[in-house]
Structure 1
Amino acid sequence: MRLGTFHKKKRLLINKIKINFLSFLFRSKGVSPVPANCIKSCLLIHDNSKLGDLIVLSALYRALAERNISLSIISCGVGHAFLKANPGITHFFIKDSNNIPDVLKLRGELARHQFDVVLDPFETQPSFGHALLLSGLRKHYILGFDKWYKRYYSSYHPHDEQLTEHMATRTRVICEHLFGEGVQYDERYDLPLPADVEQQLQEFVGDSKVVIVNPIGAKKICRMSNQQIQLIDSWLKENHPELRIIYTGHPKDLPLIPVENIETLPFKDFIHAVALTKYCQYVISVDTALVHIASAYDRPTLAFYPKARHEDYPSPIIWAPNNLRAQQVISPTCSACDIKETVLLDALKRLFQ
């Protein structure tokens, strides 16, 4: 076992022990659920920086707003910047980190508010900081989905413990738990944009037809090889010269793209990349966040996924595009750069059929 793996497992074990110990001191008070017609306020906990989580659950924000339920969200600064234009979200509580002082500060802020229901909808790695946050909300009714925090919840829901469904189905589970089986809601993702950002992108795109290419994801396993990137670029230029190719990605990764004179966005904030997706014609991406954004705007998408690292967590199923106009290509290995060129070319041809 490598030293890094050993330390990771050791931290995981220590966190599990701390979580279980804290649960005996601050066990959930067994709060009863509020009747559906009496729910007026809801707090949703997003305790990581993954934007994909916020996107696939965005139909829930609209469903709550349509029932005049005030929704507050705990998230990081990135999550706030991403969702601040959504009229269905009343308030954001910013969590700076999982450090104990930051968590205690947030708990103090939350203590000044009352929520009819608290949602903990995302699974996380066992975290003492998350447990500490939940323990401060034990006077509220908490509906949760993470098995590590069962003792902190008023109600634990074992939704998709076998991991065979898309994460977006959790919206349905939450709505049925709160409002009853068979409840009707709009299942489409909901990503409103700030008016100024939308205008800037409309002017930037103009009348051109845009294809977004995002070849370098945040994780090493979600990065295309230089040969793959060059193949995509040359194929697009040769077969669809009418398209304007715009590359997106993390600013530090864009200089690594092995293509001369690439066009990128002149804006620094990620929300502009979101807006570009709304006004483009096609999306080619290894980054799942962009894939989900493209699904929100119903854009034809070619999504490259690495094979799941572990059989017990089939990520290409759970985080699939969820878009009828998307094609998903899964690598034969745990790295997207191992997708064969023939497979890549066939997928490109299908995208433009």
Structure 2
Amino acid sequence: MLKKIINTISKLNRKRNYLFKNVKLFILSFKLKRSQLDLSKINKVTIQACKNGLGDAVIISGLPKILATHGFEVTVLTKKSNAFLFESNPYVSQVICLDRPLTKSQIRVLKSLECDLFIDPNNRTSYSNWIFKIIKKIKPKHTIGFNYPNCYRVYDSIITYTDFSAHFSQRFMYILNKINIQTSENDYKYDLHYSDEYDLQVEDLLSNYPSKKICIFNPYASSDRRSFSSKQAQDIIDLMSSYPDIVTIVIGLPDKISKLHPSPNILINPLNHFFHAASLVKHCDFVISVDTSIVHLANAYNKPLISVYSSEIDTFDPRYKNNDVYKPNYENAIQIIAPDNSARNLDIMNLKHYIDQLAINP
């Protein structure tokens, strides 16, 4: 009886919290009048990329180039951990790093930012209250958002988006079409920029293996459920070691990959920057990865890829399946969906057939 009462109270609390968040969103979003989109007055564009992870940021990287080549000046709002990806991009005029909650100095920067068009490519999330506050500080001339009810007036143009199985980059086609830039998803390319030093260091490393094919293996993602177990990772390393013509370079967080045991033809990556990983993918023959940031790097350089996904759905809107929204999205990729929602349940021998194909003819 007591357990039933506690469960009932918990459900009521969740409903109350949900209602409170909706009311708070409404209050934060309120303004008397929406602006009309006038392209003749749009020059400075701000892209909201604060909510997105590193893999998402790689996907977003193609948008500044399209906007800049059509005459727009681009600012990117992002979290500090992703800022480096945009700071080297010549098509990005300004990168602003933001914390949650905003600091006083960040609020001053936002208030001084000139913004004609604010683009938010995401649906409503747990970040929405915070994003609304950002928009209120900037006061852009026009804002574009996705799938918000009309009562949330912080967005002037709301795009109704129901392509629940479409790749995340498809959203940019809607945005670009909204501002009269015609392009297709097939023409949308990720756009990575980094210093030549990373390529030089990678080329020096790979010069030790002039007659070998190079495989990049990324066994760990940002969550345990999407990562291989240590045993799986070691089993794959041992499997790759059996291919005499292939050198496999294991990439990922140093504190994790350093615990794996070395084998013949296996190298634990000694270069630890993300741009080293990008360069390794750029120079390799094929990739095996559970992490979407590396998957999207493989897409950027059109490398043969074996990817393993773990059947995630969007926590805010379960109609969106991340296996589709963040899939590899190019012909040179193989996507394997792990059983029971976790890469840890995959029999690694399921990879061998694909590895054999790439080992012979990558």
Q: Which range, TM-score by smaller chain?
A: 0.7 to 0.9
2:190 alignment partner, SS class: coil
1:176 alignment partner, SS class: helix
1:212 alignment partner, SS class: strand
For residue 332 of structure 2, what is the amino acid of its counterpart?
A: R
1:77-124: per-residue Cα shift (whole Å, max 9, x none)?
Answer: 2221122221111100111x212x42x542321221221211011236
The aligned residue for residue 328 of structure 2 is: 321
Q: Which has the larger radius of gyration?
A: 2
After TM superposition, give the deviation of residue 67 of structure 1 in Å: 1.0
Q: Specify every segment of 5 or more residues in structure 1 that has no aligned partner in the other structure, as ranges.
A: none
Cα distance in structure 2, aligned partners of 1:86 and 1:170: 21
The aligned residue for residue 155 of structure 2 is: 153
Is 1:346 aligned to 2:347, yes or no?
A: no
Pick the aligned partner of 1:40 from 24, 43, 51: 43
2:241 alignment partner, SS class: helix
Q: Is residue 12–residue 126 contact of structure 1 (8 Å, CA) maintained in 2?
A: no
For residue 86 of structure 1, what is the amino acid of its counterpart?
A: N
2:46 alignment partner, SS class: strand
Q: Is residue 28–residue 133 contact of structure 2 (8 Å, CA) maintained in 1?
A: no
Q: Is residue 217–residue 289 contact of structure 2 (8 Å, CA) maintained in 1?
A: yes
The aligned residue for residue 106 of structure 1 is: 106
For residue 177 of structure 2, what is the amino acid of its counterpart?
A: E
2:258 alignment partner, SS class: helix
After TM superposition, give the deviation of residue 155 of structure 1 in Å: 1.1
For residue 219 of structure 1, what is the amino acid of its counterpart?
A: S
Distance 1:313 1:346, change over 3 A: same
- Normalising by structure 1, report the TM-score: 0.86
Pick the aligned partner of 1:72 from 71, 75, 83: 75
Cα distance in structure 1, aligned partners of 2:63 and 2:156: 20
After TM superposition, give the deviation of residue 338 of structure 1 in Å: 0.9
Q: Is residue 98–residue 130 contact of structure 1 (8 Å, CA) maintained in 2?
A: no
Q: Is residue 212–residue 283 contact of structure 1 (8 Å, CA) maintained in 2?
A: yes
Q: Is residue 281–residue 287 contact of structure 2 (8 Å, CA) maintained in 1?
A: yes
For residue 296 of structure 2, what is the amino acid of its counterpart?
A: H
2:113 alignment partner, SS class: coil
Q: Is residue 213–residue 246 contact of structure 2 (8 Å, CA) maintained in 1?
A: yes
Q: Is residue 198–residue 276 contact of structure 2 (8 Å, CA) maintained in 1?
A: yes
The aligned residue for residue 65 of structure 2 is: 62
Q: Is residue 309–residue 334 contact of structure 1 (8 Å, CA) maintained in 2?
A: no
Runs (4+) of structure 1 exceeding 6 A deviation are 6-13
For residue 154 of structure 2, what is the amino acid of its counterpart?
A: Y
2:328 alignment partner, SS class: coil
Cα distance in structure 2, aligned partners of 1:292 and 1:303: 10
Cα distance in structure 2, aligned partners of 1:61 and 1:7: 45
- Normalising by structure 2, report the TM-score: 0.84
Distance 1:12 1:216, change over 3 A: farther
The aligned residue for residue 300 of structure 1 is: 304
For residue 336 of structure 1, what is the amino acid of its counterpart?
A: A
After TM superposition, give the deviation of residue 263 of structure 1 in Å: 2.2
Distance 1:312 1:272, change over 3 A: same
Cα distance in structure 2, aligned partners of 1:252 and 1:31: 50
Distance 1:59 1:119, change over 3 A: same
Cα distance in structure 2, aligned partners of 1:313 and 1:179: 27
Cα distance in structure 2, aligned partners of 1:245 and 1:325: 19
Cα distance in structure 2, aligned partners of 1:200 and 1:16: 54
For residue 90 of structure 1, what is the amino acid of its counterpart?
A: S
Cα distance in structure 2, aligned partners of 1:145 and 1:342: 41
The aligned residue for residue 246 of structure 1 is: 249
1:283 alignment partner, SS class: strand
For residue 71 of structure 1, what is the amino acid of its counterpart?
A: V
275-284 or 308-317, which moves further after superposition? 308-317
After TM superposition, give the deviation of residue 62 of structure 1 in Å: 1.3
For residue 255 of structure 1, what is the amino acid of its counterpart?
A: S
When the two chains are superposed, the root-mean-square deviation of aligned CA atoms in Å is 3.0
Distance 1:27 1:52, change over 3 A: same
Cα distance in structure 1, aligned partners of 2:196 and 2:19: 45
The aligned residue for residue 271 of structure 1 is: 275
After TM superposition, give the deviation of residue 13 of structure 1 in Å: 6.4
Is 1:217 aligned to 2:229, yes or no?
A: no
1:211 alignment partner, SS class: strand
Cα distance in structure 2, aligned partners of 1:335 and 1:322: 21
What fraction of aligned residue pairs are identical, expressed as a percent? 22
